[in-house]
Amino acid sequence: MSVENIHVMRESFAQLFALLQDSKKGTSSWYSKLESASWFKHLRLIMQGSMRVVETIEREHGSALIHCTDGWDRTSQITSLAQLCLDPHYRSIEGFLLLIEKDWLWFGHKFQERTFGSSERSPVFLQFLDCVHQIMHQYPCSFEFNQHLLVFLVDSLNNCRFGT
């Protein structure tokens, strides 16, 4: 589905982060740098891949097998976003937390390495939450929770609040 690997995502996020620190926000060169960071391009590809799965299951009544190289980064992004769109239970607070547990923790996503590791660091889970935020922004009445839960999850991840 043309979703890039963790190394490309790490570089894209680093460019985005540096750009957000830039004092020249709003200038034409700033927007050009924002585009070249490719963060939104990556989000679009992740969401397009998820929608392809949704259409295969919902419209075509088919099955989908999703598996990236190792099975714990892009796989979790695509499958969990597709389930979020297909099943309203995952748009409840309880269901969303179950979805993260099921498709991220149980799948073996390397939270420690992706959050704090040097060569393995990558914003894969943050991208997932950003995609969720984009969907919530379009369909706010379809969710039992809001962006405060997403921010809480990011803060908890970065502060090592929970062992899992």
Domain presence at residue 77: yes
pLDDT (0 to 100) of residue 71 = 67
Model pLDDT, residue 94: 98
Q: The domain containing residue 136 runs over which residues?
A: 6-158
CA angle 133, 99, 84 (to 5 degrees): 50
The answer to the question of residue 164 being in a domain is no
pLDDT digits (tens, 9 = 90+) for 60-71: 999 998 887 776
* Interacting residues of 126 by C-beta distance below 8 A, sequence separation 6+: 13, 154
The whole-number pLDDT of residue 99 equals 97
pLDDT on residue 55: 97
Residue tagged active-site, from 68, 85, 131, 141: 68
pLDDT of res. 66? 85
Which pLDDT value is given to residue 24? 72
Q: How many domains does the chain have?
A: 1
The answer to whether residue 163 sits within a structural domain is no
pLDDT digits (tens, 9 = 90+) for 1-22: 788 888 999 999 999 999 988 7
Which contacts of 91-97 are long-range, i.e. CB under 8 A and separated by 24 or more positions? 91/142, 91/143, 91/144, 91/145, 92/144, 92/145, 93/144, 93/145, 93/149, 96/144, 96/145, 96/149
Query: Is 68 an annotated catalytic residue?
Result: yes
Residues of the chain with pLDDT under 70: 23, 71
CB 45 within 8 A of CB 3: yes
Judged on CB neighbours under 10 Å (0-12, 13-18, 19+), 133 is middle
